Chain A
Amino acid sequence: MAFFVAGYLVVWALVFLYTSFLYNGQRKLEQELAFLEELVGKQADLPC
């Protein structure tokens, strides 16, 4: 039974690491997106 509980804990840890990886990636992408949107806005304001 201990092996079974340990297996479940391993799965939980893997899910935790994977979700952390996804959340971190999303936060970086959101920052990059905000920066790029600002650049696009500035580019649109430039006189032709």
Chain B
Amino acid sequence: MKDALKSPFFWGFTLLMLLALSVIVYYAPVERTMGLVQKVFYFHVASAWVGLVAHTVVFAASILYLWKRSGGSDRLARASAEIGTVFISCTLLTGPLWAYPIWNTWWTWDPRLTTTLVLWFMYAAYIALHGGGASEARKRLAAVYGIICFINVPLVFFSTRWWRSIHPVVISSEGIALTPKMRVAMFVSVGVFSVLYFYLLRLRMKSLELQERVRHLKAQLLA
């Protein structure tokens, strides 16, 4: 625990989180129809945004791995998939917290909700596949699967436009359907979650690199 407390990045993130919390609680107005429950939106959208960005990073890193065969891109894909899945889990948990008082149901098989759940299962399978071994063949297979999984990312984003959906559309081609203060709160929240993503990504990638070096040295000793 001491190492985390010594890290300036951790304290920087803590300050940013306090800033986001203050903006959401004190600066963003209470929505007239939905009331306080609407504030879940800032958490929900930010985690969904970071989840989708993380899975786009998996896609790009997987292509890079198949092209260059560099260990760094493989580690980037794996770390980003793990963190992205955690953020998508947050999205899937915060959605029902808002949906129950507004829709009167925790869950409905709406296109946006269904595609997001499918996305979560696809990346959970990716993590299981990648974590199953450290061979080159396994890494190649994970990279191919990481590229295929990306098909679902635009489906999640455009699901509310392509199919009949009851999920609110806040960001569309016509602009952002929020008051200026709500927009500020949303951007601050998205910014803080993005910083958290990069911080966790950096940490996880370092752990994976150390694991690989240890594995390589053990193999060298046994050879």
Contact = CB atoms under 8 A, between A and B. Distances in A.
B10 A12 contact: no
Contacts, number: 69
Interface string B80-115: 000000000010000000000000000000000000
Contact of B214 (A16, A20, A33): A33
B128 interface: no
Interface in A6-38: 7-8, 11-12, 15-16, 18-20, 22-27, 29-30, 32-33, 36-37
B14 to A, nearest CB: 7
Contacts of B14: 12
Interface of chain B, helix or strand or loop or mixed?
helix
Contact of B25 (A1, A32, A39): A1
A15 B13 contact: yes
B3 A24 contact: yes
Interface string B16-40: 0100010011000000000010011
A26 B40 CA distance: 34
Interface residues of B, number: 30
A20 B217 contact: no
Contacts of B207: 22, 25-26, 29
A32 B36 contact: no
Interface of chain A, helix or strand or loop or mixed?
helix
A43 B218 CA distance: 12
Interface stretch (B65-73, B116-124, B129-137, B198-206): B198-206
B211 interface: yes
A5 B214 contact: no
A11 B90 CA distance: 10
B196 interface: yes
A38 B200 CA distance: 30
Contact of A18 (B25, B90, B200): B200
Interface of B: 1, 3-4, 7, 10, 13-14, 17, 21, 24-25, 36, 39-40, 43, 90, 196, 200, 203-204, 206-207, 210-211, 213-214, 217-218, 220-221
